[in-house]
Amino acid sequence: MLVLIEFPVTIDLFGKTFLLHPFMEGLGMFIGMRYYQLLKWKDEESLGHTNSLLIVIAAGLGALIGSHIIGSLERPAELLNATHKWTYIWVNNTIIGGLAGGLVAVEGMKKIMGKKESTGDRMVFPLITAIAIGRIGCFYTGVFEQTYGLPTTSPLGMYLGDAYKRHPVALYEIAFLLLLFVTLQLFKRRYNYRNGVLFQLFMLSYFGFRFLLDFIKPRAIILLGLSTIQITCIVVIIYYIYLLKNERLIKK
């Protein structure tokens, strides 16, 4: 499949040229937050306004820190050889680290507050929406950042800015997220479940998909033939399998 696109795609605003990627990431975060606010207005607040705000703040800070830590550890040799290590850490990030960091921070904040209520269900569809929009920007950056696939002879291969037809992994992820959005909406309508199950299914599904996707992306092997992202995925997958192993669903 040949697509005539000049990578990386840019946009002109106010007489200046910008990469499309950060614009799409910002748009994804904006729409995701508005979507979350809409769902929040419709639902009752079980934790109270203050506690809910603290959890959102914890999630944001945890996601920020986790994103940069895991992102900078994807290629340890580059990190060790970087002249300005803090700059290297700041410019490298990954949504996998963001989700994992947000999870750790939220669970820590809930423990501090003495709360056991699950808080993630309302965030599922806004997160899927935000990630999918952001991945549009990843796709249009082509091979000019670490979100492209390995060379392939598959009919799905695309030229992303160099001489090789590659797996368009960003498009694969968008397709998966759309499928996951529809599947979880159907699950929500057809089953009764305790609070938190929807978020747990989202995390288990997304981290499982990303674990497999990394096999067709350039990656630095860290341990047992796996990358930093894949190792992170395995830890999160095991955690959510443990949480869901005794779950019983009841059809509506």
Q: Distance (Å, rounded) from C-alpha 203 to C-alpha 235?
A: 12
Element (H, E) at 205: helix 197-213
pTM for the predicted model, two decimal places: 0.90
| pLDDT of 228 above 90 | yes
Cβ atoms 172, 147 nearer than 8 A: no
Model confidence band, residue 6 (pLDDT cutoffs 50, 70, 90): confident
- 16-35, pLDDT tens digit by residue? 887 888 899 999 999 998 99
Long-range pairs of 155-158 with CB within 8 A, sequence gap ≥ 24: 155/1, 156/1, 157/1, 158/1, 158/2, 158/3
Please state, in angstroms and rounded to a whole number, the distance separating the CA atoms of residues 132 and 69. 22
| Confidence (pLDDT) at 70 | 94
In angstroms, rounded to a whole number, what is the distance separating the alpha carbons of residues 80 and 139? 28
Q: Which candidate, 58, 134, 122, places its Cα nearest to that of 96?
A: 134
Q: 43-47, 146-150, 188-192, 212-216: lowest mean pLDDT where?
A: 43-47
> How does DSSP assign 114-127, residue by residue?
T------GGGHHHH
Q: How far is CA 139 from the centre of its chain?
A: 15
Kindly write down the DSSP assignment for every residue of 64-103, as one continuous string. Answer: HHHHHHHHHTSSHHHHHH-SSHHHHHHH---HHHHHHHHH
The pair of structure tokens assigned to 179 is 């499928």
Q: Is the pLDDT of residue 44 over 70?
A: no
Rounded to an integer, what distance in angstroms lies between the CA atom of residue 196 and that of residue 203? 11
Mean pLDDT, the chain, integer: 88
- Residues 134-183 have pLDDT tens digits of 999 999 999 988 889 999 999 999 999 998 999 999 999 999 999 999 99
149: left (phi over 0), alpha (psi -120 to 50) or beta: beta
**Total Cβ atoms within 10 A of residue 229:** 26
R_g of the chain computed on alpha carbons: 19
Rounded to 10 degrees, the C-alpha dihedral 176/35/25/149 comes to 0
Which one, of 207, 237, 233, 132, lies nearest residue 177 by Cα?
A: 132
Do strands 250-251 and 191-192 pair parallel, antiparallel, or not at all (unpaired)? antiparallel
Inform me whether the pLDDT recorded for 2 exceeds 50: no
Query: Mean pLDDT across the stretch 104-126?
Result: 83
